[in-house]
Each structure stands twice: as structure tokens, then as C-alpha cells.
Structure 1
Amino acid sequence: EFLMIDDQKLVFETVLEIADLGQNAGKQVLIVEGGPGTGKSVVAMNLLSELTSRYQTVHYITPNRAPRQVYEGRLTGTMTKSRFTNLFKGSGSYDSNKPDSMDVLLVDEAHRLVERSQYQKSGTNQTRDIIRTAKTSVFFIDHAQQVTWKDTGSVEDIEYWARAQGATIQRAVLQSQFRCNGSDGYLTWLDQVLQIRETAQDDLADIPYHLEVVDSPTTLRDRIIEMDQQSRKARLVAGYCWNWLSKKDPNAWDITFPEHDFRMQWNLNNDEGRYLEKPHSIDQIGCIHTVQGLEMDYVGVIIGPDLVVRDGRVISQPSERASSDRSLHGYKGARKTSPGDADARADAIVRNTYRTLMSRGLKGCFIYCTDPETQRYFRERIAAAFSAEEPTAIENLQTHESTAKTANADNSEPNPDTPRLIPVEDVTPSDNAIPFIDLEAAAGGFSEGFAGTESLDHADTWLVLPDLYRARVGLFAMRVVGESMNRRIPNGSLCLFEATPGGSRSGRVMLVYHRDIQDPDNNGGLTVKTYQSEKVIKPHGEWHHHRITLACDTLNDGYEDIVLEGAIAGELQVLGEFKGILDEPSQ
């Protein structure tokens, strides 16, 4: 369940190297920044497993209890309960630990760190205590997901405490998208629409993400239940604008809309952070505290009166938050001394909350707003975003579902998470498919004539992508064989490439062809390597390649880089950029 793609693997390898440094070269701190769905938790869970197998003392830490409990549940059966439970800790667990008593501490959701929790008996600052305790500390952080008044986790705070303890500080960034159908465009659009920051993302026509405003909370609930019954994990969430009455009275209803004959409860108290894992939670509503750091296929979001739109301007109303919500605890006191700063901070918390809720869906988001003008605003913005002549993401989704229902009436529906090959004559416009290039064919005549995306259309076989990915022009798949890149690409992996990438290629993993080279794995002119280029620039700005190095990235001995110089370097054909692994070979 914790598969990594390209830059996740790079961060994974970086942490392993830094953890080794932490054993002998002094205290190490790595700060990993990444937005929603970039794989922060995926990398952390893979590191937890790998470092444990290397007999290092390691803990996975989150300030929020929900991710810890969900990941504990997913590891049930892989090791004894006492062992894996001891691997998961809260962020306030290190106030009395001895310095360097742990090898590695992996801090997920580091933006949710606080100075000191209400349950701590000692300690001065959680970030300080974590860095002091571990030889190597890794902080996964996203400033845009700070959603409570007490959240103090920041790059600046981490760097301050790291310097105070003489640690070596390093930075890394995660960018590749798992969530929102792998699209940064939706998240950028969300920032624009919520008026968090000004972006140029107004168009969602080419982004395969289901986004819809529904007419009532009843319709929202029914759509989410329907999605969940179709084996797609879907849940309802809401802004914390309704008191948690059912916490003390199990017969009470928390969120009610009498005019719509709608009444539901917040998630059950005894489910704690395992809300998403419980089948009965489809009949409940989650909040930011139970879903942050987690994901589902489809999310239904109720936007409450704490966020409204007036004359096109998005306005936060912190006073509309429920009295039982402690996210803004401290706001009123701060407002007495510095009203401007307090209002700005509360405004960011409200907007960040809805940004986080609306980005929990891998494949889609349904929205209902309690305020009519706000409802119209979101409906109009979504309609404008999907107004291109091409079919919208919603129409594509409906077409695909209709086709799937007809084709799979015998209940033999293929696994949506597994890539599969189909003949080109069976490909339909509704298929989420890309060309598949056979390695041997590509090493012969195909690569000689490979000039761009138009060559891909002649592939005899196509590959239906897992639901995690969306097909688009220029993407193609190929199986990569050999051990010369096994640090990133295991031998035999089915890989995703993008044809004729633009921009600087240096440092990127590229699929290239040259008639005079011999790949160390297949002895052919086609190879996948890390591309490095040295250029000679002439007085009038013209340039040519002086040397191109096709570098191996392997754990095995006996592999040498391929070096091309002069005119030979200029004859190299770059066919595509490696984007990630679709399927690894079974061991």
C-alpha cells in the first residue's frame, strides 16, 4: 500500500544516506517539504520499515493521532502488535529522553508540532526535544496544512533548534502527485478559488478530476454512499461549525438541516483515529482532526458558515466555529492585544482547513455550501474551469463508469490498481490508456524514427493505467530490464515515460538512443540512465555538447557510465523522461 514513485525514491535514498552519517558524523536534520499528496507519509512508512530491518532504533511520529492509528492497523499481521505499536509515537513523547538515544525519528505532519502539548509533564519545545533525542531527525512538512492555533511547526523553527544543537541541516522537496489524480493543477486551482494565493490556474479542462457542487446535503450524502458501495472509498467531512453533541449523548444529532431532512453525527469517539478504516463511518461525518494526513478515493465536503463569499470575495468567519472545536483556542485572547495579526492567523487556519479537506480525494471532490452565495460562487468557478470544448473531467468520469458497468456486468471487473495490456484495436476513447513500447522493438527500427508523440500512436499494444495515474498525450510505458539503475528502477519494472521533455535534462533520468553505444544490460543502443551534460557556449550565444555522461545508479559492482564526447554527443537522441514505476516485478 506504500508504493513510491520517482522523487519519493530519491528522498528515501537520501534519508538512508543521512541516517548513516548520523551514526558517525554528528547530529543530522533533514527537512522535507511537500504539498498534499506528494508522498510524505508514503516515504516515511517505507523508511520506518527499511530502517527497522537495518536494526536501527526508529519511531514514526505524528502530532495528529489519526495517521498513526491507521498505519498501525495496516501493519497488523506483519509483525507482533507490541512491536509495531512501539514504532508509532506522538510528538510529545520525547521530553525526558536522553540525547542521541534514538537513531532516527521520522516526523510526519511536522507542521502540526506544538511547543508543548497539554499532556506533557516536562519539556520546553517538541521540535527541540525530538532533535535532541535522535542522531538523525527527518521532518516532513507543509505550511499550508497548519489548521490549529497551536500549530507552530515551521522550517524556521526546525532550523533554529537544529542550529542550537549543532546539527547539520539539509533540505529536500517532494513534488510528484499521488493525490487528485496526480495533478498539481487542481491544488493550484484550489489556492486560487479559496483566495489563499494568486495563481494562474483557472482551467481544469485537461485535469482528470471529478469536481462537482451538489444541490443539498442529502444529495451529497447519497452520492458519497453510492461511491462507497461501488468499492470506492468515499467519506463525508465538514468544517467544524457544529458542536459535538453526540460525544456525550449517543442519541443526539450533531449536523442537521431540517429543511433537507438531513441529520448526521460526527465520527464516533471510540473509533478515535481509525475513522476511515471503519465501515460504519460511511454513516458519519469526519472533521479535519480525523482525516488530515489520510486520503480516500472521493471526498464529500460540507463548507460551513465559517467560510463565505460576498461579492466574489472569500471571507473567513472564525466566530462561526463550534465552541467544542479547539482549533482556534487562543484566538480571542490574541485578538485583544494584536487584532490584525490574530485575524490574519485565524483566517489562514480556516482557509487551510478547507484546502486540506478538499484535497483528501484521490479521484474527486463533491461540495455543498451552507451559504447560498458561497454555493453559487463555487458552482460558477467550477463551471468556468471546465468550460473548454473538450469533454470535462466529470463527463469523462461518467462515460467511463457507464462503459465499465456494461462491460463488467459479469462481476469480472479488472483490478483498477493494476496496469494491464490491451491490443491497439481494443482501445476506446474512455480507456485510461497509453502506448506500450516493447524494448526489443524500440532498440531496432522504432527508435530510429522516434521523433515525438506522433510515433507513439503506431504502437501495437497499449497499457491501461492504474487509477492513480491519468493518461495524456506524450506518456508511454516500457519495461526496463537490467541492474544498471537498480537504486531507482528494479530490474524488470514497468515504467512510465514522457516523450520529448523540454527544459534542462541534466540530473534527470532519461530514455536515450545512440547507434554507437552498447547498454551494459542489453548490449543495445537504447538505454535508461541519469543524464549529465557539459556544454560549450560560443560568443554569439550558440552552444554545443562537449560531453554527455549517461550515469548508472546501481548498488551492483561492474557497471560503468557511458561517456559521449564531441560530435558523437550531438548525435544522441533523447526519447523520453522517466516519470515513475507503474509496477515492479514480483520477487
Structure 2
Amino acid sequence: MIVYSENKQQFVDDVRGNIIHEKILLEFKRSLGRTVAENEIASWRNSMQFMESVVNDPEIPADAGVSIEYNIPLTNNRVDFILTGKDHNNVDTAVIVELKQWSKVETTSKDAIVRTALGGGVRETNHPSYQAWSYAALIEDYNETVRLESIALRPCAYLHNLDSAEAINDPCYQEHINKAPVFISKDVKKLNAFLKQFVKHGDTTDIMYRIEHGKIKPSKNLADSLVSMIQGNTEFLMIDDQKLVYETAIDLAVNKAADKKQVLIVEGGPGTGKSVVAINLLVEMTKREKVTQYVSKNQAPRMVYSARLKGSITKGRIDNLFKGSASYTGVESGFFDTLIIDEAHRLIAKNRYNKDSENQVKELIAASKLAVFFIDEAQMVTWSDIGTKAEIHQWAAELGADVQEMQLQSQFRCNGSDGYLAWVDDAVQLRGTANPTLEGTDYEFKVFDDPCALRQAIRDKNLEANKARMVAGYCWDWVSDSRKQANDAAAMDIVIPQYGFEAQWNLANDGSLWIMAGNSVNEVGCIHTCQGLELDYIGVIVGEDLIVRDGEVITDAHKRSNMDASIRGFKKLLKENPDAAKEKADTIIKNTYRTLMTRGQKGCYFFSVDPETNAYFKERAEAVSLARPLIPTEKYAGLQLEVVDVPDEERYVTAIPLLNIKAAAGGFSLDQHLEVCDWVRLPEPFEHKLGYFVAQVVGESMNRRIPNGAWCLFKPDQGGSRNGKIVLVQSSHIQDTETGSSYTVKCYHSEKVSDDRGGWKHSKIVLSPMSSVGAFGDIELVGEQVESFGVVGEFVAVL
């Protein structure tokens, strides 16, 4: 998504008119249904004034493109400023500018890390050159259009409030500065020259539109990339807080851990890159000859990683790299240089198979010089989970270890959608958030009325890459358990008779490798075989342990299978302290479904055995924000403007007409159609002007500027030269190739010749498409066809 996209001249006008921040905020509200903090609005106003002074140069074409706040696909990271156009060789180019308002910078000993004033204190953060380069690399990595169409990306950084270049240009950062030069307050001319070096001609091919609507390559899967990473290749580009956590851990291991025990707690929600950073640390520490192991209580990630590495390195080396959390009882203090504990929230107090075991958190800290705990307390899903920050702090203090806390926020799962994650939290009523709807989220969430239909949808998605699976709450007994003497291996475990749905739990054949096994799409997994791993699509079946009544989410641990070890201890505590038992069980059940619903990178398919619960989630998924009134879709599909009744004297004052061009018969006249149209109110900063109207553009022939089905604002034809403008035209000689209509929206070009009276007339009119797909040809009007031609309106903007 691009929050702001205009040509350079319009950008200059918006800055000089002091409305640039208002237009950016308007689009945030329109597209995302939310606002931003006052300090971010102020930063737009401030930074864009500096950028206006840089680009307001006649050598930078007026029709160069300016895009602000471009959201990088599959992440929640945004690029501050992009200038698009063609370079001296007519290569499509996008210059990425990372803007910073820093006034002071300090160097650090960490790669690509600086210190500056952030969030009320002086903190470490990425060097802006590294940040700009990493964003460009991410776009190129994820966007197939950028690669196939050879769109050049040129990153740089601009610190317009920084007067001293000493720290930001320190030689220790030269590797990153070479990739993305950094400019300070005194470097306006240098930045201007940098931009002109790559944007010589205007953006006539809608570069940012092609990038924004380009084919997105799916996120890489950590397990699939593991072999390459172990061999030392860079598979995952760490950005922002991921890079900071990675460099901090290396610094602690290399410079601090020899003198005193160190503990690093890294918090992060689903898809924030905890496991990616953990594996990168494992590889780097091992390369540095540090005795290091990756630790996970959950067997599934270890088994999947081991299976991926099989054949590339020896089994002994695999076993030395990946360990269970119960492996450290009685280990000599400080034996390991570094222990990297993924999914640390799943640690338990005591290993019941080892009488000497006391507490896994204590044992891990004791056994290492540096213990890195990756944690998400919202994914504690069993009664015995103890991996909280408080628990880690307690044992660190007892063992004399220094503790540092950090957070991961850069989102890669769920298409980079923090909005979806917040919506799940709100929907299951784990915690109230500002995301009661899914508006503005780029994530497929679909509720099914039949589990058989959900299963078929998952099977269909699995054909693409074997990365779609079904999971369920543990509300059905494992009757096919091969470990039991009286079992029936052919029995169906999960039976929903009213729908004719039957399936087996996954553990019988594939165990912890269910998530990657070839035929396991027909089985149903549980929390124990998918936590810490990721798929493209997840199908979630909710049992009777979570239901909704009158809008309230209610949990009942008694509805869990008696075979479910995750709530072992519930009944005992229920007798001792009923309120505490119910509260803990409520959290575990909600955490379980939240975790299941966030295993998919692209989408989540949902079914509940309880009809009222299913209806609740379907209503929540289809809800829209009251801040964005929509016209009923059966009348005007996709329109996001308010339809209003206005008296005659308010027409073109508080509303303009919405015209059904496709229904207009014969010759078009704006006046004759006003009585049969609806009136709509425009959002700020658009004005309701005489002759302006809204109409829908259908088809792909203009998709570089106007998406299929977009509702657009048009203004009356002003006369004069129309060359290069996008116009809505009507002619009895036109038949639009997509709609068959005598109306079409195209880019206008004309040729003129002198007439007998010393004036001029049109000899030919050419209406050209602007499409990135298909083979749409020009529409040419010549001779007497020109006489029947009429411009209905000139395109202003997509609404």
C-alpha cells in the first residue's frame, strides 16, 4: 500500500500549501481505518518541507513520481519517501529515501548500529544507510515485478536535522554507506545531485503502481532455508529490530559473557522473526567457534529442522546443534558459550523423568555464559508452561547474571499484518485492541459453515507448495493411538457427524514431522505439532472448549479431551482455588486458538462446531469500521463514500453526483442525468466543485493508474490541450474492448491539421491504454469519427 502518491509538481504544491500532512493522514484513515500519533504527523510536516526543497529543481521532471509511506509487502515496515522516474539510459528507477529527524548520533562497536535519541532516551538503532539498503533489498526479494521488469532501486538516507557527519559517516559503517549514501543537513545539494543522477526523465510508466500491484513472492520458510543458512548463506535479511537484537546478542557473547553471566530476553509476537534471528545467531556463533546450541522444549521445530538438514551435515552435528530443554540438568556451570532458547515460554519447572531436575530456566542460565530467551507469553498453552519474564529475572538474579530486555516488532507472518494479529486478540477477547475489524489488513481470513468445505479449501491450497494444513483444539480423544493395545488404528479421531466430517489426529504416522509430510494434509494437527512453525494457509477447527454467547467468548476446560496433557493440573487447582483455575484455563485455551489462528503466513480458514460461535467470527470478519460508511455492496460494489440526500441548494456544495455511466443511454449530458443519480460526499481535502462527478472504471486496460472497479473523481473538460491526460470519453464509434460500452477511460493523444479558415482541426484522436497485463490496443478515431467524439470528463483521482 502507498499512503501518498502524486507527481513531483503536485507534491511541491501540497507542501507549499501546508496540506501534505493532512493528505497523508487522510489516506491513512481511508485505507487503514486508523489514525497515527501527533508526533508522526508533525514528522511528515517537518520532513516533507525538507524534501520539497531538495526536489524542487527544474532538472527533476515535474512528472517524476513521489510516493510517501510505502508499505513493504509481507512486512509492516514502511518506506518514508520514494522518487520515481527514468535515468539517463531510460531505465525505470525508484530512489528510496530513509528520512530521520535525528540531531545527534553516536557510534557503537556493533555492525550497522548507532545510538541516538529515541522514545525519550538515547537508544541503539540501525544505521539509516543499512535500513534504507535493507528495505530496497526486501522489496527486490519479495516483488517479482521489480526483478522481472528490471526496475532499479537506489537507496539513500537523509538526516536533515543532523549538522555533524562525524559519527554517521564513521569508517566502521563504510560498508553500508557504500550501498546507501547518507546525507546530513548541509548536504542538500549532494542529495539533489544524487536524485538527479537516477531520475533524469519523468515517471511515464507508473513505476510505483507497478511495484505496488506487482506479483508478490511468498515469504521464505525458515525450515526450507535451513541448509543454506547452515552453509553460511544469507537467506533472511534482518531488518530494524531484528538486526539490533542479532548484533546485541553477538556483542554480549563476544565482549561481555567472559566476565559475567549474561541473559538476553527477546519478546516478540507471531512472525516477528524470533526463530529467524535464533537460527542466524546459531550459525554465526558456531562460525565464531563459540560452543552454542539451539534449544526448544517443543519437539516439532527440532524434528523439522533436523529433517531438513539430513544429508547435508552429519547426524552427530545435527544433534549437537539442536537440543531439547531437558538436556541441561547437572551440566557444568558456564559450559556453553551461548544457549539460544526459542519458544522459551514453553519451558517447564521440572523434568519428571529426571529426579535431579529443578527448573529449566535455572538450568539453562546456569549452563551458559549467555542465555538468549525468545519469548511470547501470549503463546503459553499448557498448564506446566513457566517461561515468563518474571521467572527468567528471578533465576538470573539468583545466579548473578546481568539481564537485558529487547523486543521484536517487525512482522513477517500474516502478510506483515499487525492488524490481523490485533484483530485475533480482540476477537477471542484475550485483550482489547484498536482493531475490531479486518479493514486495511492484507490477509485472507474466511469462515466456513461446513468443515468438509474447509478441508477441501486447504487441500486446494496445499497443491501450490505443500504448505497448508488443518489444526484443531484438543477436544477429541486420540482413539487411533497406536501406542495403546486396544486401539483401532483405522478409527477416526475427530468426528463431526452432522456434516459427515471424519479425520485422524496427525501423530500416528508423521508425529512431529506432520507439518512437512507429503500426505498429512488429510490429517489434523494440534498445538503441539505446529507451534513455532509456519505454513502458508492454516485451517482451524474450534471445538466446544471455546464458544460465544451473546457476544461473550466463554471457555470450558472440561470440554477438552481427557487425553490432553496441556491442562493436566486443572482439576486439582479447581478444587483448591476455583477462580484461579478457571482464569488460568481461560488464558490457556484462548492462547491456544490465537496461536493456531496465526500459523498461516497468507491466510486462516476457520470453522467452529458451535453455530453461534461460527456466526460471531463471520460477523467480526465481515464488519466494517463506522468511521468509513459504505454504500450497500449490492448497489455500488466497492464504493467507500457516503451517499447523502441533499436539497438542490446544497448540490456541488456538500456533495457531487455519482453517475452510472454504463446505464446512460444515447448521448450523454450531465444535466439530463442529475435527476436519476445518487449524490456522494467526498473526503477531505477534495472539494465539491461544479461539474465534478464520481463514476466507476471497469477493466484492466488502465490498471497502471486505475485499478479494476475503482471509483474515480472526474472534473469537467476544461478545453485546451488534453494530450497526455486521462479522460472519460463517449463516441458512437467507440466500443471498449472490455465492457463493450460506448464509454471508455483512456490516455488522450491527438493530431491536428490546419483547416480552410486558417484554424485547426483534429485529424486523428488516439485513446491509449495504460496496462501492465493483457494486450490492449489503441482506439483510433479518424475522419468523421472525430466529429462524434466527446470528452465527458477528465480524471482527477481514484477514490
What residue is the counterpart of 1:447 in the other structure?
Answer: none
What residue is the counterpart of 1:10 in the other structure?
Answer: 244
Distance 2:528 2:380 in 1: 11
What residue is the counterpart of 2:582 in the other structure?
Answer: 343
SS for the counterpart of 2:412 is coil
Q: CA deviation at 1:462?
A: 13
* Contact residue 466 and residue 518 of structure 2 kept, 8 A: no
* Contact residue 261 and residue 402 of structure 2 kept, 8 A: yes
What residue is the counterpart of 1:83 in the other structure?
Answer: 317
Q: CA deviation at 1:390?
A: 10
What residue is the counterpart of 1:295 in the other structure?
Answer: 534
What residue is the counterpart of 1:363 in the other structure?
Answer: 602
- Give the letter aligned to residue 165 of structure 1: L
Distance verdict in 2 for CA 1:295–1:391, change over 3 Å: farther
SS for the counterpart of 2:330 is coil
Unaligned ranges ≥5, structure 1 = 397-423, 431-460, 465-587
Please point out which of 296, 320, 327 is paired with 1:62. 296
1:320-335 aligned within 5 A: 320-335=559-574
Q: Which moved more, 1:248-257 or 1:138-147?
A: 248-257
Tell me: higher relative CO, structure 1 or 2? Use CA pairs within 8 A at least 6 residues apart.
Answer: 1
Distance 1:307 1:68 in 2: 30
What residue is the counterpart of 2:619 in the other structure?
Answer: 380
* Contact residue 21 and residue 28 of structure 1 kept, 8 A: no
SS for the counterpart of 1:240 is coil
Distance verdict in 2 for CA 1:462–1:338, change over 3 Å: farther
Distance 1:428 1:222 in 2: 35
Distance verdict in 2 for CA 1:268–1:124, change over 3 Å: closer
Distance verdict in 2 for CA 1:192–1:462, change over 3 Å: farther
Distance verdict in 2 for CA 1:264–1:427, change over 3 Å: farther
- Give the letter aligned to residue 285 of structure 2: L
- Give the letter aligned to residue 408 of structure 2: L
- Give the letter aligned to residue 464 of structure 2: Q
Q: CA deviation at 1:386?
A: 8.1
- Give the letter aligned to residue 38 of structure 1: T
* Contact residue 351 and residue 358 of structure 2 kept, 8 A: no
Please point out which of 214, 217, 237 is paired with 2:448. 214
| Residue 39 of structure 1 pairs with residue 278 of structure 2 | no
Distance 2:703 2:430 in 1: 46
Please point out which of 295, 307, 324 is paired with 2:546. 307
What residue is the counterpart of 1:26 in the other structure?
Answer: 260
Distance 1:26 1:261 in 2: 61
What residue is the counterpart of 2:365 in the other structure?
Answer: 131
Distance 1:190 1:117 in 2: 33
Q: CA deviation at 1:277?
A: 1.1
Distance 2:387 2:511 in 1: 23
* Contact residue 27 and residue 166 of structure 1 kept, 8 A: yes
1:425-462 CA distances to partner (integer Å, 9 max, x unpaired)?
A: 868848xxxxxxxxxxxxxxxxxxxxxxxxxxxxxx99
Q: CA deviation at 1:13?
A: 0.9
Q: CA deviation at 1:118?
A: 2.4
Q: CA deviation at 1:81?
A: 2.1
Q: Which moved more, 1:102-111 or 1:200-209?
A: 200-209
What residue is the counterpart of 2:336 in the other structure?
Answer: 102
What residue is the counterpart of 1:118 in the other structure?
Answer: 352
* Contact residue 423 and residue 433 of structure 2 kept, 8 A: yes
Distance 1:137 1:385 in 2: 45
- Give the letter aligned to residue 499 of structure 2: H
* Contact residue 347 and residue 385 of structure 2 kept, 8 A: yes
Please point out which of 171, 196, 211 is paired with 2:430. 196
Q: CA deviation at 1:326?
A: 0.7
Please point out which of 476, 500, 517 is paired with 1:278. 517
Q: What is the root-mean-square deviation of aligned Cα atoms in Å?
A: 2.5
Distance 1:428 1:43 in 2: 40
Distance verdict in 2 for CA 1:385–1:146, change over 3 Å: farther
Distance 2:253 2:772 in 1: 38
- Give the letter aligned to residue 433 of structure 2: T
What residue is the counterpart of 2:408 in the other structure?
Answer: 174
What residue is the counterpart of 1:144 in the other structure?
Answer: 378
Q: CA deviation at 1:233?
A: 1.2
Q: CA deviation at 1:112?
A: 0.5
* Contact residue 205 and residue 391 of structure 1 kept, 8 A: no
Q: CA deviation at 1:23?
A: 4.2
What residue is the counterpart of 2:476 in the other structure?
Answer: 242
Q: CA deviation at 1:45?
A: 0.6
What residue is the counterpart of 1:252 in the other structure?
Answer: 491
1:468-483 aligned within 5 A: none
Distance 1:232 1:176 in 2: 26
* Contact residue 105 and residue 138 of structure 1 kept, 8 A: yes
1:132-190 CA distances to partner (integer Å, 9 max, x unpaired)?
A: 00000000000100000000111011011001111111111000001010011111111
* Contact residue 34 and residue 175 of structure 1 kept, 8 A: yes
- Give the letter aligned to residue 476 of structure 2: W
What residue is the counterpart of 1:71 in the other structure?
Answer: 305
SS for the counterpart of 1:83 is helix
- Select the structure of larger CA radius of gyration: 2
Q: CA deviation at 1:463?
A: 12
1:538-557 aligned within 5 A: none
Distance 1:28 1:304 in 2: 43
1:381-407 CA distances to partner (integer Å, 9 max, x unpaired)?
A: 111048965999xx99xxxxxxxxxxx
SS for the counterpart of 2:566 is coil
Please point out which of 92, 103, 117 is paired with 2:326. 92
TM-score, normalising length: structure 1: 0.66
Unaligned ranges ≥5, structure 2 = 1-224, 226-234, 483-487, 639-701, 709-769, 774-799
Distance 1:226 1:391 in 2: 31
Distance verdict in 2 for CA 1:391–1:233, change over 3 Å: farther
Q: CA deviation at 1:10?
A: 1.4
* Contact residue 232 and residue 298 of structure 1 kept, 8 A: no
What residue is the counterpart of 1:518 in the other structure?
Answer: none
Distance verdict in 2 for CA 1:216–1:16, change over 3 Å: same
- Give the letter aligned to residue 546 of structure 2: L
